[in-house]
C-alpha cells in the first residue's frame, strides 16, 4: 500500500535536497532530520488539528479529510530542550480495525518502527468514548503517551478525571492539555523528550484486555500463529484477537504467506465460539473491550450535572422537530447575506433602490470590498500602463500586462474576501457545534435526493465559489455520495454568477422587485437542479436505490474559538489561491490572446479575433434558447468568456460593444426581456468555469467523467434556458 507511506516532502529536507519523491527520502533518512518522531492519533473532533497546529505552528486541516488518498503528514520540527521533535499527523479514526483506508494507514504507521512514540489524544469532554482508541492502540504497541485534550472545558461540562488513577490503569504517562489555552504544552514536550530518551518509563508490553470466556479461543489462535510462524510482524495475541474479530488486512496477509489452511482453522474456531455462546466472536470481543474501558471510566471519571445555560438552550432549540431546521436555515441565510453584503453590497443595494435611495445604493456598491478592490486594480492597470508606455515598452507587452495579467490577478483577488468570509462563517458554525446540527436538519430533505445532510457544506461553500465547493466533497463518507456532490455543486450559483445576474438585471429591469425576483428564482433553480443531479447520479450512474446513511457526531454547543476559525479560513483560502489562482492567472493570459489576436495577427476588433470566430461558431446553437440574428455571435462570444471565468461574461460585453460603461454595453446588446431571462438561466447553468472544471477532473481523476459533466451541464442549461424563454414569451414579458 503505497499511500500509507505518502507524506509531504517537508520532513527535514531542504529545497535543493529533495528532488525526488518521498520514497527515496525515506530510505536515505527515515527520520528526516528529526531526533524524536511522534505519531499523533485521535478520534475525529478530539482536537487533534488544534494540538497539531499549536505544536508545529503549521495549519493542517484539509489534509485530514476522509478521502481517497490518505496522507500521513509530518509537520515542521519543534525545537525543545535542544531536540528536534517531529509530529506525524495520522488521520482521525475511531479504531484500528482496518475497516477503512484511514484506519489501515494509521495502523500500518503505528506498527512500523518509524515513530519513536505514539501520542494518543483522549477528549476530556467525552472520555468514555474516546478512551477506546488508546486501549486499542495499546493492545498493539506499548510506546504510548496519552494527552487529555480540551482540559480547559472539562469542568464546565461537569466532568472530573483522576489523572493519576488513569495512569495506573493504562500504565502510560497522561498529560492534560489545552492547545488553545496553552495549558500543559511544555509538560507534554518534556514528557516526550524524557520518554524517548528513557528517563521516563513507558510500558514494556502491550496492554492485556481481559476477554473473559473468549480467552481460551484467543490462546488457541495465538498458538496456531506462533507454531506456523505466521504474521510475525504483529504481537501474536493481538493478531489472534484481530483474526477472531475479522480483519480483512490480516486475512489477506495470511493468504499472501500461503497459510490458507490457518485461515480455515481460524474459521473453525470462530464457528465454535458461535456454537457455544450463540454470538459472533467479533461482537463479544468489542463488547469486552468497551467493558474494559467502562471499568476504568467508572473508577477515574466523576460526572456531575452542570447547568450550561445558553448553550444548553440552543441545543434544545436546534434539536426540536420543526423549529430546529427553520432556525438553522435562518442562521445560515443571515450569515450568507452578511457575507454577500460586505463583499458586493448585495442585497443592501437592491433594498436601498427599492426605497428610492439611489445614491445610497451606489455608495454601497462602490465601497463594498470587491468594489474597492476592483477600483484598486483599475487604478493599478492605468498607472502601470502609462508608466510602461513612457519607458518605451513594446505595445503587445503593455497590453498583455494591463489587459491580461493585472485584471486576471485582480479577478482572483476580488473573489478572496467573499471566500474567506464564507469560510469564516462556516467554520464558526462548525466549531461551535451548530454546523453538525444544521447537517442533521437538512438530512431529511437531502436524503430524498440521495445525499446526507452533510452535503449542505459543499453546497454552501459553492455559493461563494464552486472550486472549494467541489473540494469539500471529500467530507462525504461514502464514495458514491462524494461523486454525487462533485457533479452537482457546479449548478449552485457562485458569486461570479451573481455578478452576471446583477449586471444584466440592473440593465434590463427598472423595478428592483423584478430584479430580486428573477435572481431568487434563478438561485432556486440552481439548487433544485443540483439536488436533481445528485439524485440522477445515484440512481442512474450507481444504480443505488437507498440514500447514503448519516452517521454524525453531534458535539455540545460552545463558543467558537477565533484561532480555529482563522486556521480553517486561512487553510481553505490558501488552497483556493494556489489552485484557482494559478489556473485563473494562466487563463486570463489565454483569454487575452484569444481576444487580441486573430488568424491575421493582432485583431482590430473583437469580431475578427479568435474569440469572435469561436463566438460565431457557437451562435447558430443559440436559437435553442431564443437568441437569433446579428447579436447571436456576440452572445456566443460572451458565453465563451463566461466559460473561462463566469464574470468574464459581462466584461466581454464591454469589449464587444466598445462601450464606456457596463450598463451601456449590456443594453447595447439589444436583447428582449425573454432573451435576457433565458440567457441568464443558461449562463448560470451551462458549464462550470474552467477552474471548477479542472478541480472536477482533479477530484475524479477521470477525463471521461469530466467530459460527461460538461455535456450534461450544457444539456440541462439548454433545456432550462429554452423552457424559460418559452414561458416568459408566453407570459408576455
Partner 1 sequence: MYTLDLVPPGGRVRIVDLRGGRELVSRLMQMGLHPGAIVEVVENSKGPVLVRVRGVVIALGRGLARKIVVMPLR
**Chain contacts with partner 1 (rule: CB under 8 A):** 94-95, 97, 99-100, 126-129, 132, 246, 248, 279, 282-283, 286-287, 290, 303, 319, 321, 325, 436, 439-441, 443-444, 447, 452-453, 546-556
* Other Cβ atoms closer than 10 A to 222: 18
Backbone phi and psi for residue 494, each to the nearest 5 degrees, phi listed first: -85, 180
Our CB check for partner 1 shows the closer of 239 and 297 to be 297
What is the nearest approach in angstroms of partner 1 to the Cβ of residue 552?
5
Q: How far is CA 239 from CA 246, 279, 287, 400, in A?
A: 10, 21, 18, 65
Whichever of 52 and 94 has its CB closer to partner 1, that residue is: 94
Q: How far is the CB of 478 from partner 1 (least distance, A)?
A: 9
Quick check: 87 and 22 in contact, CB under 8 A?
no
Q: Are 716 and 537 in contact (CB under 8 A)?
A: no
Q: Taking the complex as a whole, how short is the minimal distance between the CB of residue 443 and partner 1, in angstroms?
A: 5
229 burial type by CB count under 10 A (0-12 exposed, 13-18 middle, 19+ buried): exposed
- Closer residue to partner 1 in complex, CB, 202/552: 552
CB 449 → partner 1: shortest distance, Å? 14
Q: Please, what is the minimum distance in Å from the beta carbon of residue 66 to partner 1?
A: 11
Beta bridge partners, 83, equal: 80
Count CA atoms closer than 13 A to 406's CA, side-chain side.
Answer: 20
Among candidate residues 710, 704, 708, 692, the one with its CA nearest the CA of residue 472: 692
Angstrom distances, CA of residue 347 to CA of 13, 341, 513, 593, 662: 50, 6, 12, 36, 19
Q: Which is nearer to partner 1, 293 or 595 (CB)?
A: 293
Quote the least distance from Cβ 128 to partner 1, whole Å: 4
CB closer to partner 1 out of 284 and 461: 284
| Least Å from the CB of residue 236 to partner 1 | 23
3-class SS of residue 715:
helix
| Other CB atoms within 10 A of residue 710 CB | 17
Smaller CB separation from partner 1, 386 or 553: 553
Give the nearest distance from C-beta 126 to partner 1 in angstroms. Answer: 5
Q: Within 13 Å and on the Cβ side, how many CA atoms surround 489?
A: 32
Backbone angles phi, psi at 550, to 5 degrees: -85, 125
Cβ distance to partner 1 smaller for residue 557 or 681? 557
What are the residues facing 302 on neighbouring strands? 160
Asked if 192 and 202 touch (Cβ cutoff 8 Å), the reply is no
Residue 334: strand, helix, or coil: helix
Minimum distance of partner 1 from residue 330's CB (angstroms): 17
Closest to partner 1 by CB, 444 or 698: 444
CB of 440 to partner 1, least distance (A): 5
State the distance between the two ends of the chain, measured CA to CA, in whole angstroms: 62
Q: How many residues does the chain have?
A: 733
Smallest distance, Å, CB 709 to partner 1? Answer: 27
Q: Toward partner 1, which CB reaches closer, 299 or 395?
A: 299
**What letter would DSSP give residue 113?**
S
Which alpha helices (H) appear in 131-209, and where do they start and end? 132-140, 163-170, 185-196
Q: How many CA atoms lie within 13 A of 533 on its CB side?
A: 27
Query: 535: closest CA among 526, 525, 545?
Result: 545
Residue 184 or 548 having the CB closest to partner 1? 548
Closer Cβ to partner 1, 211 or 572, answer by number: 211
Cα-trace Rg, the chain: 30
Smallest gap from residue 287 Cβ to partner 1 (A): 4
Nearer to partner 1, 332 or 470 (CB): 332
CB nearer partner 1, residue 244 or residue 500 = 244
Residue 128 or 187: which CB sits closer to partner 1?
A: 128
Strands 78-80 and 83-89 turn out to be antiparallel
Nearest-approach distance from CB 118 to partner 1, in angstroms: 18
Where b means 16+ CB within 10 Å and e means fewer, 531-545 reads bebbbbbbeeeeebe
Residue 463 · residue 336 · CB < 8 Å: yes
Of 188, 220, 196, 206, the closest CA to residue 37 belongs to 196
| CB nearer partner 1, residue 149 or residue 706 | 149
In the complex, what is the shortest distance from the CB of residue 4 to partner 1, in angstroms, rounded to a whole number?
18
Q: Give the three-state DSSP class for 395.
A: helix
Q: Could you tell me the smallest distance in angstroms from the CB atom of residue 432 to partner 1?
A: 15
The dihedral sign for the CA sequence 269, 274, 275, 276: positive
CB burial class (10 A; 0-12, 13-18, 19+) of residue 462? buried
Amino acid at each position: 500500500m503505497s499511500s500509507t507511506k505518502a507524506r509531504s516532502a517537508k520532513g527535514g529536507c531542504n529545497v535543493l535536497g529533495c528532488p525526488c519523491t518521498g520514497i527515496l527520502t525515506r530510505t536515505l533518512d527515515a527520520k528526516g532530520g528529526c531526533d524524536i518522531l511522534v505519531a499523533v492519533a485521535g478520534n475525529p473532533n478530539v482536537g487533534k488539528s488544534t494540538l497539531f497546529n499549536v505544536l508545529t505552528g503549521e495549519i493542517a486541516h484539509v489534509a485530514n479529510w476522509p478521502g481517497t488518498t490518505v496522507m500521513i503528514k509530518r509537520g515542521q520540527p519543534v525545537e525543545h530542550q535542544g531536540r528536534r521533535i517531529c509530529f506525524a499527523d495520522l488521520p482521525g479514526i475511531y479504531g484500528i480495525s482496518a475497516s477503512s483506508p484511514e484506519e489501515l494507514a494509521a495502523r500500518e504507521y503505528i506498527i512500523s518502527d518509524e515513530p519513536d512514540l505514539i501520542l494518543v489524544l483522549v477528549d476530556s469532554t467525552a472520555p468514555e468514548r474516546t478512551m477506546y482508541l488508546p486501549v486499542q492502540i495499546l493492545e498493539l504497541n506499548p510506546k504510548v503517551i496519552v494527552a487529555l485534550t480540551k482540559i480547559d472545558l472539562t469542568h464546565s461540562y461537569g466532568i472530573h478525571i483522576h489523572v493519576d488513577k488513569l495512569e495506573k490503569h493504562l500504565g502510560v504517562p497522561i498529560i492534560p492539555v489545552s492547545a488553545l489555552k496553552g495549558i500543559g504544552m511544555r509538560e507534554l514536550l518534556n514528557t516526550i523528550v524524557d520518554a524517548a530518551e528513557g528517563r521516563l518509563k513507558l510500558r514494556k508490553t502491550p496492554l492485556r484486555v481481559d476477554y473473559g470466556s473468549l480467552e481460551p479461543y484467543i490462546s488457541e489462535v495465538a498458538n496456531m500463529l506462533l507454531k506456523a510462524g505466521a504474521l510475525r510482524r504483529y504481537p501474536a495475541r493481538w493478531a489472534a484477537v484481530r483474526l477472531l474479530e475479522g480483519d480483512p488486512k490480516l486475512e489477506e496477509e495470511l493468504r499472501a504467506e500461503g497459510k490458507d489452511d490457518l485461515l480455515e482453522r481460524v474459521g473453525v474456531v470462530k464457528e465454535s465460539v458461535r456454537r457455544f455462546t450463540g454470538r459472533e466472536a467479533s461482537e463479544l470481543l468489542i463488547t469486552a473491550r468497551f467493558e474494559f474501558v467502562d471499568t476504568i471510566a467508572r473508577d477515574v471519571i466523576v460526572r456531575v450535572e452542570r447547568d450550561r445555560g445558553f448553550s444548553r438552550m440552543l441545543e434544545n432549540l436546534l434539536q426540536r422537530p420543526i423549529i430546529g431546521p427553520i432556525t438553522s436555515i435562518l442562521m445560515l441565510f443571515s450569515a450568507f447575506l452578511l457575507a454577500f453584503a460586505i463583499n458586493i453590497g448585495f442585497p443592501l443595494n437592491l433594498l436601498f433602490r427599492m426605497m428610492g435611495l439611489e445614491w445610497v445604493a451606489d455608495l454601497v456598491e462602490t465601497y463594498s470590498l470587491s468594489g474597492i478592490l476592483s477600483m484598486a486594480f483599475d487604478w493599478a492597470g492605468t498607472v502601470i500602463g502609462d508608466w510602461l508606455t513612457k519607458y518605451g515598452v513594446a505595445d503587445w507587452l503593455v497590453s498583455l500586462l494591463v489587459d491580461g495579467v493585472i485584471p486576471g490577478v485582480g479577478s482572483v483577488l476580488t473573489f478572496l474576501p467573499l471566500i474567506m468570509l464564507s469560510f469564516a462563517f462556516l467554520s464558526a458554525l462548525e466549531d461551535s457545534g451548530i454546523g453538525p446540527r444544521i447537517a442533521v436538519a437538512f438530512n431529511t430533505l437531502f436524503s430524498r435526493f440521495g445525499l446526507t445532510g452533510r452535503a449542505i457544506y459543499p453546497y454552501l461553500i459553492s455559493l461563494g465559489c464552486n472550486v472549494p465547493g467541489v473540494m469539500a466533497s471529500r467530507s462525504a463518507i461514502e464514495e458514491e455520495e462524494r461523486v454525487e456532490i462533485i457533479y452537482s455543486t457546479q449548478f449552485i450559483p457562485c458569486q461570479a454568477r451573481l455578478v452576471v445576474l446583477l449586471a444584466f438585471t440592473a440593465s434590463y429591469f427598472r423595478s428592483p422587485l423584478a430584479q430580486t425576483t428573477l435572481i431568487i428564482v434563478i438561485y432556486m433553480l440552481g439548487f433544485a437542479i443540483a439536488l436533481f443531479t445528485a439524485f440522477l447520479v445515484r440512481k442512474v450512474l450507481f444504480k443505488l436505490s437507498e440514500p447514503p446513511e448519516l452517521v454524525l457526531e453531534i458535539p455540545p454547543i460552545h463558543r467558537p474559538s477565533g484561532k480555529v476559525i482563522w486556521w480553517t479560513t486561512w487553510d481553505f483560502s490558501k488552497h483556493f489561491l494556489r489552485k484557482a489562482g494559478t489556473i485563473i492567472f494562466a487563463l486570463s493570459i489565454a483569454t487575452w490572446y484569444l481576444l487580441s489576436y486573430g488568424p491575421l495577427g493582432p485583431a482590430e476588433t473583437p469580431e475578427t479575433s479568435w474569440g469572435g470566430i469561436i463566438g460565431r461558431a457557437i451562435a447558430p446553437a443559440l436559437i435553442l434558447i431564443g437568441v437569433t440574428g446579428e447579436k447571436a455571435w456576440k452572445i456566443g462570444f460572451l458565453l465563451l468568456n463566461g466559460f473561462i471565468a463566469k464574470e468574464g461574461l459581462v466584461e466581454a460585453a464591454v469589449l464587444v460593444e466598445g462601450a464606456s460603461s457596463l450598463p451601456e454595453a449590456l443594453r447595447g446588446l439589444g436583447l428582449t426581456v425573454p432573451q435576457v431571462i433565458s440567457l441568464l438561466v443558461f449562463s448560470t447553468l451551462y458549464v462550470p468555469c474552467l477552474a471548477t472544471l479542472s478541480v472536477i477532473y482533479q477530484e475524479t481523476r477521470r477525463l471521461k467523467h469530466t467530459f460527461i459533466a460538461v455535456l450534461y451541464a450544457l444539456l440541462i442549461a439548454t433545456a432550462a434556458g429554452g423552457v424559460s424563454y418559452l414561458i416568459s414569451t408566453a407570459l408576455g414579458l
